[in-house]
Amino acid sequence: MYRLAKLSLANRSVVALATIIVIAFGALSLGGLKQELLPSFETPQAAIITSYPGASAEVIDKQVSQKVEEQVRTLDGLVTTTSTSQNNLSIVRVEFEYGTTSAKVKENLAAAIAAVESSLPKEANARVVAGSFDSVPIISIGVSSDDNEKLGPLLEDVAPSVFGSIDGVRGVSVTGMKVKRINLKLDNALLTKNGLSQQSITQALQQSGFVIPAGSIRDKQGELSLQVGTPVESIAALKKIALTPPASAYFTTTMTMAGPVTVPTTPKVYTIGEVAKVTYDYADVTTISRVNGKESLAVTVTKTQDGNTVTVANGVEERIDDLKKELGGNVEVAVIFEQGSFVEKSLEQLTTEGLLGLGFAILIILLFLLSVRSTLVTAISIPTSLLITFIGLSSLGYSLNLLTLSALTIAIGRVVDDSIVVIENINRHLSYGEPKKKAILRAVKEVSGAITAATITTVAVFLPVALVGGIVGELFRPFSFTFALALVASLFVSLTIVPVVAYWFLKTPEQKAFKTEAAARKHEEAVREVEEAKERKSILQRGYLPIIRTTQKHPVITLVASFIILILTFSIAGLLKTDFIGSSGSGSVIANQTVPAGATLKDQSIAAGKLEAIITADKSVKVTLTTIGSSGDSRTALGLAAGGIQHQITLKEGEDLEAFKTKVLAAAKADPTMGEVEFSSAGGGSFGGSSTVDITVTANDSDSLLTGVTAVAKALEGAVGTTETNTSLADKQRTIQVTVDRKKAAAKGLSEIALSGIVAGLMQPSNIGSINLNNVLTNIYIVPKKPATTLAQIKNLSVPTLAGNVKLSSLAKVSVVEIPVSITTEKGDRTAKVMLTPDGKNLGATTVDVNKRLAKLELPAGVTATLGGVSASQAQSFSDLGMALLAAIAIVFIVMVATFRSIRQPLVLLISIPFAATGAFVALLVTDTALDISALIGMLLLVGIVVTNAIVLIDLINQYRREGKGIQDSIMDGARQRLRPILMTALATIFALSPLAIGITGSGG
């Protein structure tokens, strides 16, 4: 590496030109980096959502969920499956190993659906929804007018065209609007009398409305194409569709002298309009959207994986006026939630803290070197290294996000280290009176090996992070790469640009002419002795030399004291709080509201309105969007709820989110009619996982499961560091069960499935097809004239059979039973969860207390309770990073063995690593900061930093020993001369990171 510095000094103009080019390209790369909250990565999670209208949770579980889950569990790379069966809907969530692409996940699940589709009920409709953090909306907008019914179709048509053309937009969706459909109310008496049925109408629809090419002919004017059929594109055309009479209608039987004779006849052909009342009306509402309590429509925008969050969010906001113009009329538009400003603010705060850190680091250098020129030469390495890093990030497609920018902010203190060591040594040699070029080359030669080894060691520390799996690996891999790239850039700058700039900017020492080279060397040695004598009298040396002499004279006492410090260090570790991943600090949050089982959409709306009133009355709230009903979008694959009630809340800037949540929860508990309320992140859940401490209870049957969940919930009530306890065990609801008597039904010509379909048709609308109406694909439903509303009416339902109409009660037992609202299984076992909400202060203490309570709990035979959720995520991540730390130490050892060509010296260097924990643990304890993933990554970084100082020291000691000095003198002189650069690098790093650690702008701390 010394040759690189020698080459640079010989080609100073080339280095200057290359530096200008780097600065230009770095600035361009920085401007081109996309900005987002977190690094984009694919989550190997998805969900198979199967709708089966009219089916209960038990039917869904047996006929859909179990079959789908059984097929899915045969797929390679599968980590876990969880199925939830509820009325009308089955959700099978799957998670594959990280590294599996979304495309591969979709492909595997599509194959699983194809394999099992034939065994599912005919009415079941399965689809795959893949989850990624790019599927979480980056902006939500509420739109309302005096006539939302009229506004809906217009908004659905206009919003995608207005927002969809913005670069980086993935999709635009509209929810909360009412959809029109065609309803058919059948005249069943007329149908039965003429041998027709609902199936006759379905067949007529399937066989009509086609335009089929049938060849062509030629005449004098040219070729004429021939087509057969007429499209059905209006209600009038639909009414005119003819129903094919039954085969028996084409013959009639007459009595003759010879007996009954069957003769052909022309049957009466009925049209749909004659056997049914056809209307064009709004479908039943399945979702409700309200903004600040006022009914409205919601527009959500998602970005592509390569999209810039800030650019897309700002672009959408800029086009809101265009949306208003396109919609016209008295339209109100309100931005409910958007990530752009939060990302901008977060990046701006980190940038500010980074610049403050840069200023502090430069100030430290100035205080030690007491030279503006030397300080400027050293400081130039920071922006140059960062600009080179920006080029690397841009080339590899990385974004500017909280983690990569944090890596750059942290790197500010470290990238200057190599340059500090180089410039400090150059100054030392210049003070000896050596010619400038000779002094620079000598100084660089002395430290080039040490700083190269130190940089390689620090970079190597982060290699194991690339092997860490799960969410931690995905999040911190870009962080590690960015930091490593910045360090490599700083090494390159310190060996190329810094020597050249030092040659131009630093003062040339006064040169004297000597007759012989020996006289010149003698003069240099005399000057060196004078300068070293001055250095020994400096404040630093006067304070340090007595300490180093004392430790050398009393090695046993020094080692014992060191050992005691290590014991105290690891004793402190037990007093530390622990956490997983801290809060993002966003001013938006989602309140999930769960109402009692069996609640209708109207009941849910009333309960939601009560909570809305509390939320909107709070002065800290800026805006809230309430969504009632099922969403079933791609966020379901990330573990978010597929239905129920959600309140998306944005607070005014500067308001306390935790205080707001506490107030809302207290108010909700005071009114049981609101149901249960819990909060989750507005940015897409907890990275695809749980934010609560979950205890998964598994049992063989529902009764044992209920017993187990009740026991676990009671045992964990009031656990350390928790605010509330909830369970996922669904309540039971009263349901009318129709149990078909297969023999009686078969005697009437009906199968069990056929009778089920008839009952469903008599009780609820059924989709029988669709037509293109006004360029919109419109569904056609057969709607019962007067659905039964009591148990007696259901028993008396008139069921058409080959022998005529009979009462339902004659073919089946109709009774009221209690069944679960939903059924959850995990890996095929019946499960439920007990969920503890941590207070965010000490997750480790919560986990320990929960484990103690579970160990004392006696559960019934066949019932198990397993700790999961955020506690399991924390344990797995800590374990992975612990292994990464051990691997990093091993890699550091290998690099040092290669550098020093010795095993003994690297072992000596490794002694410095445990002492890094001393300062770290004390700082965490004093500041009452939890040991979380970020802190562990910091510990990993410390391994590289402490070894760097040790390498720089040992390398100089080795040089003195090679010059013939004794071991004692080599240690004393090496320690004395490396004191200043080690202090400079340590203090520069500490002060560069202090704004981020303190959180001067509010983002750190």
> Which positions ≥6 away from 112 have C-beta within 8 Å?
48, 68, 71, 72, 74, 75
Note the pLDDT of residue 637: 43
C-alpha to C-alpha distances, 515 to 209, 429, 438, 510, 758, nearest whole angstrom = 111, 22, 19, 17, 118
Measure the CA–CA gap between 918 and 567, rounded to whole angstroms.
Answer: 10
Query: What are the helix and strand counts (H, E) for the chain?
Result: 33, 31
Note the pLDDT of residue 730: 64
Note the pLDDT of residue 977: 84
Measure the CA–CA gap between 477 and 469, rounded to whole angstroms.
Answer: 10
Instruction: Pick 678 or 160 by higher pLDDT.
Output: 160
Measure the CA–CA gap between 675 and 604, rounded to whole angstroms.
Answer: 10
Q: Exposed, middle or buried, 147 (CB in 10 Å: 0-12/13-18/19+)? A: exposed
Note the pLDDT of residue 515: 61
Q: Exposed, middle or buried, 370 (CB in 10 Å: 0-12/13-18/19+)? A: exposed
3-state SS, residue 810:
helix
Tell me the pLDDT tens digit for each residue of 131-143: 655 667 888 888 9
Residue 408, amino acid? L
Nearest to 358 by CA among 339, 386, 338, 335: 386
Residue 930's pLDDT band (cuts 50, 70, 90): confident
Note the pLDDT of residue 688: 46
**Can you spell out the DSSP letters for 678-702?**
EEEETTTTBTTB-SSEEEEEEESSH
pLDDT at 643 over 60: no
| Cβ proximity of 265 and 251 under 8 Å | yes
Residue tagged 């902010």 (tokens): 409
Task: Identify the sign of the CA torsion 51, 53, 57, 61.
Answer: negative
Torsion, Cα 700 706 711 717, to 10 degrees, reads 130
Note the pLDDT of residue 512: 63
Task: Identify the sign of the CA torsion 792, 793, 796, 802.
Answer: negative
Tell me the pLDDT tens digit for each residue of 703-723: 888 888 889 988 988 888 887
pLDDT at 933 over 90: no
Measure the CA–CA gap between 834 and 329, rounded to whole angstroms.
Answer: 50
Nearest to 574 by CA among 770, 346, 844: 844
Q: What is the pTM of this model?
A: 0.74
Q: Distance from first CA to last CA of the chain, Å, rounded?
A: 39
Measure the CA–CA gap between 646 and 289, rounded to whole angstroms.
Answer: 10
Residue 351's pLDDT band (cuts 50, 70, 90): confident
Question: Average pLDDT in the 458-475 region?
Answer: 77
Q: What are the structure tokens assigned to 852, written together?
A: 């103690």
Residue 948's pLDDT band (cuts 50, 70, 90): confident
Q: What are phi and psi of 230, to 5 degrees?
A: -130, 125
**Can you spell out the DSSP letters for 121-177?**
-TT-EEEEEEE-GGGS-SEEEEEE-S-HHHHHHHHHHHHHHHHTTSTTEEEEEEES-
Nearest to 103 by CA among 308, 307, 393, 305: 305
Q: What are the structure tokens assigned to 143, written together?
A: 């739109």
| Cβ proximity of 192 and 800 under 8 Å | yes
Range with the lowest mean pLDDT among 356-370, 599-613, 642-656? 642-656
> Which positions ≥6 away from 943 have C-beta within 8 Å?
461, 885, 888, 889, 892, 913, 916
pLDDT at 18 over 90: yes
Note the pLDDT of residue 560: 92
Note the pLDDT of residue 390: 93
Backbone torsion region of residue 796, taken as left when φ is above 0, otherwise alpha when ψ lies between -120 and 50, otherwise beta: alpha
Q: What are phi and psi of 170, to 5 degrees?
A: -90, -45
Q: What are the structure tokens assigned to 934, written together?
A: 């970020």
Give me the domains of the chain, ranges plus CATH numbers.
2-32+343-511+554-579+875-998 (1.20.1640.10), 42-131 (3.30.70.1430), 135-170+287-330 (3.30.70.1320), 180-282+746-792 (3.30.2090.10), 588-732+823-861 (3.30.70.1430)
Tell me the pLDDT tens digit for each residue of 288-336: 888 888 888 889 898 887 788 888 999 999 999 999 999 887 888 888 8
CA 584 to chain CA mean position, Å: 12
